[in-house]
Amino acid sequence: MPTYLTQEAFDKLRRDLHHARTVERANASRAIGEARAHGDLKENAEYHAAKDAQGLLEARIAQMEHTLGDARVLDESQVDTSHARILSTVRVRNRSARREQSFKLVSTQEADIRKGWISVASPVGKGLLGTKAGDVVRVRVPSGTIVFEVLEVTRNS
């Protein structure tokens, strides 16, 4: 299944992957070498910790490679605003809290609640996908159910 990213997120992921492959791998290798120099590997906690860290790094690199391989870069200017889709901004009224909120629907990699960017894989993101202005949706979240009235779907942040 493809991962939809903005050009900015795609470029950042590529930079992060490059840094992990070049700088972080070298640091991990150096840490293993230093720990190995401390003697008996069977009882060398520093060595085992460095090897574990290297394994986690390699798993992170593999995940980034997989994400980049499946990535589809979306042009925000081409987002259709007839319905809420990834990269849409959805302005809603939370009926129980009686307040308006705006959410930009983004990929998991780009989610940042401080910016109001929520993942399309989150409960609220899933609930808003496919809605249009005037729709009323009930979204189940861990704390209960939230009722949103969709006020507007735009492509502006």
- What tens digit of pLDDT does each residue of 95-112 get? 988 899 999 999 888 899
The answer to pTM > 0.75 is no
Q: What is the per-residue pLDDT for 156?
A: 64
Residue 12 CB burial class (10 angstroms; 0-12, 13-18, ≥19): middle
User: Burial letters for 57-93: b for 16+ Cβ neighbours within 10 Å, e otherwise?
Assistant: beeebeebeebeeebeebebeebebebbbbbbbbbbe
Domain with CATH 3.10.50.30 in the chain: 76-154
CATH topology for 76-154 is: Chitinase A; domain 3 (3.10.50)
Domain with CATH 1.10.287.180 in the chain: 3-74
pLDDT along the chain (157 residues), means of 10: 84 96 96 84 83 96 94 82 90 93 92 93 95 96 94 83
